[in-house]
């Protein structure tokens, strides 16, 4: 009898953060089985409900490019690349190329209108599938084994994971409340900066909600040029800003095009199918490397998807206004409710999250477990980095009734554990 094959995970998997959503999904199912309706505040979603007319636009555009009155695509009867289809894969590639050209032109026009920055649609714009994988694509395309990657702490786990997948060496830089949760570039050791190949930043920031200004970006680009560092600005939450705050583009900064890449998400466009459509903008050499990589990672983007997205750009401001108005009212409801419960915190300037200080003598994990027992799920700050300890990340997506229900459950848990009258720490997001 042959010995069973031993399947061992790659060493890199031991270095990346656990997939916490998979972990907490078990608790969601357990609560549902107990008859408790869980309230999941772990992830912010700008447009969680697909809109049928937007989906139909995608299929209509795909039909038009395919030449038939029905959706056509790889794997569909009569679609490009299927048996008996005219032109086969060649037609699909040509159709995708034309749709990609039109999308890049539409995005470039919008970018010039939004930021007053002229970009070349052929060399400065790269659409790709899965906006969440953008940071990983940047690292794998540009970072060699052993090279240093700078990432904020706390931050989305994708940055650390991206460095590991590229066999790079991660070096974290802290985001402190005393510095308004902005990176203090002067505190990054010159030795570390000199070794760095890539640096991640993200604004509006996940998880703190801070929005950087032009002054910080000028300082950042000067820092990057001095140390020959590529800057990847994660701008996937760019559209979610409130109270007159406007998030600038990194590429508005003089010299940024020489060292910078910016990642956008089109999730604010109506309909669920745009949620995973990402766009990279910036340095042509960096984007060419990303394009070479992504061509091996996924099939060409569906022509109908690109055509439908391009058609929405003239109405993008209207879509953004609708999404921001809804998110702002949700944010105000949650922040007001938390203040009534004893927290001293300002409203975040951007993004879909509240960065909430935990009560004294509670760790972020312990406080998250306390809320979880009431059926409210949040992300412990410790999951987002060493300097995330002392906070939890709480999304304010969902309708008003869900937010009120979450606040009511938090209120009852605080009363039960006699936390209501505690003096909670303040946090500045100014």
**Of 72 and 180, more confident:** 180
pLDDT on residue 9: 85
Answer for the pair 240, 328: CB distance below 8 angstroms, yes or no: no
Say whether pLDDT at 351 is over 90.
yes
Predicted pLDDT at 414: 86
Quick one: pLDDT band at residue 364, thresholds 50, 70, 90?
A: very high
Average pLDDT over residues 16-35: 73
pLDDT(71) > 50? no
Question: Cα separations (Å) of 248 from 116, 153, 183, 255, 256?
Answer: 11, 22, 17, 15, 13
What value does the mean pLDDT take over residues 47-62? 49
What share of the chain in percent tops pLDDT 90?
A: 63
The pTM of the full predicted model, rounded to 2 decimals, is 0.87
Specify the pLDDT at position 205. Answer: 97
Question: Is it the case that residue 229 has pLDDT exceeding 50?
Answer: yes
Mapping DSSP onto H, E and C, the string for 220-262 reads HHHHHHHHCCEEEEECCCCCCECCCCCCCCHHHCCCHHHHEEE
Q: Which residue has the higher pLDDT, 86 or 357?
A: 357
Provide the CB-side half-sphere exposure for 233 (13 A, CA): 30
pLDDT band at residue 75 under the 50/70/90 scheme: very low
What average pLDDT does this structure show over 332-351?
Answer: 94
pLDDT for the residue 37: 86
Q: What is the pLDDT of residue 263?
A: 97
CA distance 24 to 256: 40
- What is the reported pLDDT for 46? 55
- Banded pLDDT at 80 (limits 50, 70, 90): very low
Kindly state the average pLDDT of the residues 115-119.
97
Is 273 in contact with 55 (CB distance < 8 Å)? yes
pLDDT for 281 equals 98
User: CA 430 to CA 203: how far, in whole Å?
Assistant: 14
Residue 93: per-residue pLDDT: 64
Dihedral angle at the C-alpha atoms of 324, 325, 330, 333, nearest 10 degrees? 130
* CB of 134 closer than 8 Å to CB of 234: yes
Least confident of 41-55, 91-105, 128-142, 253-267: 41-55
Q: In CATH terms, are 11-48+318-416 and 88-316 the same topology?
A: no
State yes or no: pLDDT of 85 exceeds 50. no
Tokens of 394: 């709480």
Percent of the chain with pLDDT over 70: 83
Per-residue pLDDT at 35: 79
| CATH architecture, range 88-316 | 3-Layer(aba) Sandwich (3.40)
Per-residue pLDDT, averaged over 375-395, amounts to 95
The region that residue 351 occupies, defined by phi over 0 for left and psi between -120 and 50 for alpha, beta otherwise, is: left
The two structure tokens encoding residue 414: 């605080």
CATH architecture, domain 11-48+318-416: Alpha-Beta Complex (3.90)
What is the structure's pLDDT at 103?
A: 95
pLDDT in tens, 262-315: 999 998 877 666 777 899 999 999 999 999 999 888 777 888 889 999 999 999
> What are the extents of the domains in the chain?
11-48+318-416, 88-316
By mean pLDDT, which of 73-87, 234-248, 300-314, 410-424 is the weakest?
Answer: 73-87
Higher pLDDT among residues 181 and 6, named by residue: 181
């Amino acid at each position: 009898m042959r010995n069973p094959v031993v399947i061992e995970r790659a060493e890199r998997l031991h270095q990346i953060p656990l997939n916490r959503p998979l972990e907490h999904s078990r608790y969601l199912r357990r609560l549902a089985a107990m008859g408790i309706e869980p309230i999941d505040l772990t992830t912010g979603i700008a447009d969680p409900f697909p809109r049928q007319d937007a989906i139909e636009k995608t299929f209509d555009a795909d039909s038009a490019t395919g030449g038939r009155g029905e959706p056509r695509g790889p794997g569909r009867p009569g679609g490009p690349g299927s048996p008996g289809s005219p032109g086969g894969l060649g037609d699909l590639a040509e159709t995708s190329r034309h749709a990609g050209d039109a999308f890049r032109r539409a995005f470039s026009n919008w970018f010039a209108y939004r930021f007053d920055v002229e970009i070349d649609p052929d060399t400065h714009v790269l659409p790709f599938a899965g906006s969440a994988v953008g940071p990983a694509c940047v690292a794998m395309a540009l970072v060699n084994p052993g090279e240093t990657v700078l990432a904020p702490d706390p931050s989305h786990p994708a940055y650390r994971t991206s460095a590991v997948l590229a066999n790079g060496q991660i070096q974290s830089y802290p985001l402190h409340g005393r510095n308004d949760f902005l990176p203090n570039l002067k505190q990054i050791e010159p030795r570390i900066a000199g070794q760095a190949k890539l640096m991640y930043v993200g604004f509006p920031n996940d998880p703190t909600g801070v929005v950087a200004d032009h002054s910080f970006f000028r300082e950042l680009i000067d820092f990057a040029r001095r140390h020959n560092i590529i800057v990847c600005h994660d701008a996937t939450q760019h559209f979610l800003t409130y109270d007159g705050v406007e998030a600038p583009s990194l590429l508005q900064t003089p010299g940024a095009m020489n060292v910078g890449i910016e990642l956008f998400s089109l999730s604010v466009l109506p309909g669920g199918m745009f949620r995973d459509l990402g766009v990279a903008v910036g340095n042509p050499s960096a984007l060419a490397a990303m394009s070479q990589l992504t061509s091996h990672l996924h099939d060409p983007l569906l022509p109908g998807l690109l055509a439908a997205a391009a058609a929405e750009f003239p109405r993008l401001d209207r879509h953004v206004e609708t999404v921001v108005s809804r998110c702002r009212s949700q944010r105000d409801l949650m922040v007001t409710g938390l203040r009534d419960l004893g927290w001293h915190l300002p409203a975040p300037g951007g993004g879909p999250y509240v960065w909430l200080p935990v009560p004294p003598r509670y760790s972020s994990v312990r406080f998250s477990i306390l809320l979880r027992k009431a059926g409210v799920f949040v992300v412990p700050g410790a999951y987002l980095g060493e300097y995330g300890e002392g906070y939890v990340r709480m999304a304010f997506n969902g309708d008003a009734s869900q937010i009120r229900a979450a606040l009511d459950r938090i209120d009852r848990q605080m009363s039960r554990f006699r936390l209501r009258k505690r003096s909670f720490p303040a946090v500045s997001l100014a």
